[in-house]
Structure 1
Amino acid sequence: MSKHGFFQITQKLFLRNGNQLLVLRDRKSGHGDLPGGRMNEDEFFSDWSESIFREVSEELGDQIKIDVNPEPIFIHKHRVNDGNFPCVIIAYSAKLVGGIIQLSDEHDFMDWVDVTTFDPSNLFSEYMLDAVQLYLKKYA
């Protein structure tokens, strides 16, 4: 008899500025990443957007202003690089409103890429690559 699995939840943003999409690279793994991250245990029963804004503030600084659509655009499987935990990505679309990005030490690279021409396979891998390809196919 199989047992129920326990999975972490990570919320990721497809952050756009017009046709430009913000992509990051995880410093530890060297793999492509998107803004956002795992929900803390104490955030589960709160408003989930608080978790998103905490992660964005941690990763992109508190000078950035964004508008997040609270309706998820899709859900995808993932393995978190740190510890290889099975995880569920809840993906959201967001728009840059203004401000300056101050990249945290979690990421060592960022770029605004054109959604109509970007090839994610040079930066992203595994499930994150699948998720970015899915996004580009639907929303580019």
Structure 2
Amino acid sequence: MSKHGFFQITQKLFLRDGDKFLVMRDRKSGLGDLPGGRMDEDEFFEDWYLSIKREIREELGANIEIEVNPKPFLIHKHRVNEGNHPCVIIGYHAKLIKGKIEMSDEHDFMEWVDVKKYDPTPLFTEYMLDAVRVYLKEYA
């Protein structure tokens, strides 16, 4: 008899500023990342947008305005680098409205890259690479 799995949920923003797309690097793993993160246990039965807003504040600063499309466009498997936990990525389109990003200490690099020319392979690996490739193929 198989047993049901337990999976974490991470919500990621595919953040655009015109034809530019924000990529980041996780300080601990050295691998590519996107704004967003894992949902806390107490957020699961709340409005999931509150979890996204918390992550935006934590990772991009409080002085930024972002418009997030509340309808996910991507659901993908993932493994969280820290602890290798199985995880589900829920991806949302997002647009920078105004403000300057204040990168948190969770990341040590960020760059706005051209969606039409960007090669994610030097920075991203495994399931995050797959997710970014899907995004670039369909939305560049």
**What RMSD, in angstroms, separates the aligned Cα atoms of the two structures?**
0.4
Structure 1 Cα separation of the partners of residues 6 and 45 of structure 2: 16
After TM superposition, the score normalised by the length of structure 1 is 0.99
The reply on whether 1:118 has 2:118 as its aligned counterpart is yes
For residue 95 of structure 1, what is the aligned residue in structure 2?
95
1:73 to partner: Cα distance: 0.4
2:50 aligns to what SS in structure 1?
helix
After TM superposition, the score normalised by the length of structure 2 is 0.99
For residue 58 of structure 2, what is the aligned residue in structure 1?
58
Structure 1 Cα separation of the partners of residues 108 and 12 of structure 2: 18
Structure 2 Cα separation of the partners of residues 98 and 67 of structure 1: 10
Structure 2: state its 5+ residue gaps: none
Q: Work out the number of aligned pairs and report it.
A: 140
1:74 to partner: Cα distance: 1.0
Structure 2 Cα separation of the partners of residues 132 and 72 of structure 1: 14
Partner letter of residue 53 of structure 2? F
Structure 2 Cα separation of the partners of residues 90 and 65 of structure 1: 21
Structure 1 Cα separation of the partners of residues 47 and 69 of structure 2: 14
1:46 aligns to what SS in structure 2?
coil
1:69 to partner: Cα distance: 0.1
Structure 2 Cα separation of the partners of residues 22 and 83 of structure 1: 25
Q: Which runs of 4+ in 1 moved over 6 A?
A: none
Structure 1: state its 5+ residue gaps: none
